[in-house]
Amino acid sequence: MTIMIIGLLIFLGSHSVRIFAENWRQQQIAKYGENTWKLAYSAVSVIGLAIAIYGFGQMRLNPIYVWFPPMGLRHAVALLMIPAFIMLVAAYMPRNAIKAKLGHPMMLAVKIWAFSHLLANGRLGDIIFFTAFLVWAILAFKAAKKRDRNTPPATTATSVPATLATVGVGLVAYVIFALYLHTVVIGVPAFG
């Protein structure tokens, strides 16, 4: 579990710079350039995520159970992940009304993902893993909203086709991940 926590500290720590050290971040970008910053940030993030995932897998070999969630909560996760996938796609699909309305759908998707997985997983490692992401997403969303109030983002026109495409791609991504990739990536079936 220690390896997982180290990975989480690296990954979420790098993703918390905008929450706790925005001025320092801007200084580094000014000093080294945006591309260098993005490269370093990405490298640290990938390393942290790889360590966290490896540690998560190791933690599952010797689990410590805190509670045993009822089977019905797995169904809740399946339902909650539908809007999470749609919001994930909304973060990147241009001109969709979901992003225009919510502002930061990626962080909302992470909140839903983490919260729903806390409901259905009772191992101590799972609780630490998903709680870390949930706390980060709450703080990151709050910081992003504060930045928006200080410097409102440019408004962009939305379109119904872009919004419908966002929902459609989100649903297709959900089905592919739930039916196939969850088992490959996570090692357990999403519906099982």
For residues 86 and 98, is the Cβ–Cβ distance under 8 A?
A: yes
- The pLDDT value recorded for residue 153 is 79
Number of domains in the chain: 2
Model confidence pLDDT, tens digit, residues 105-123: 999 999 999 999 999 999 9
- The pLDDT value recorded for residue 72 is 87
- Do residues 21 and 94 share a domain? no
Q: At 155, is the pLDDT very low, low, confident or very high (cuts 50, 70, 90)?
A: confident
Rounded Cα–Cα distance for residues 157 and 15 (Å): 29
End position of a domain, from candidates 41, 62, 83: 62
Rounded Cα–Cα distance for residues 152 and 150 (Å): 6
Q: At 154, is the pLDDT very low, low, confident or very high (cuts 50, 70, 90)?
A: confident
- The pLDDT value recorded for residue 185 is 82
Distinct helix (H) and strand (E) counts, the chain:
10, 0
Span 123-133, average pLDDT: 96
- Do residues 78 and 19 share a domain? no
- Do residues 48 and 69 share a domain? no
- Do residues 103 and 180 share a domain? yes
- The pLDDT value recorded for residue 49 is 94
- Do residues 82 and 49 share a domain? no
- Which amino acid, one-letter code, is at 17? V
- The pLDDT value recorded for residue 156 is 82
Q: At 192, is the pLDDT very low, low, confident or very high (cuts 50, 70, 90)?
A: low
Domain range enclosing 10 = 1-62
Rounded Cα–Cα distance for residues 45 and 31 (Å): 20
Model confidence pLDDT, tens digit, residues 82-102: 999 999 999 999 999 999 999
Q: Is the pLDDT of residue 186 over 90?
A: no
End position of a domain, from candidates 12, 42, 62: 62
End position of a domain, from candidates 18, 40, 62: 62
Span 3-28, average pLDDT: 95
- The pLDDT value recorded for residue 190 is 84
- Do residues 169 and 89 share a domain? yes
- Do residues 53 and 86 share a domain? no
Model confidence pLDDT, tens digit, residues 37-49: 999 999 999 999 9
- Do residues 121 and 52 share a domain? no
For residues 65 and 31, is the Cβ–Cβ distance under 8 A?
A: no
Span 146-166, average pLDDT: 89
Please name which of 28, 29, 170 lies closest in space to residue 86, comparing C-alpha atoms.
170
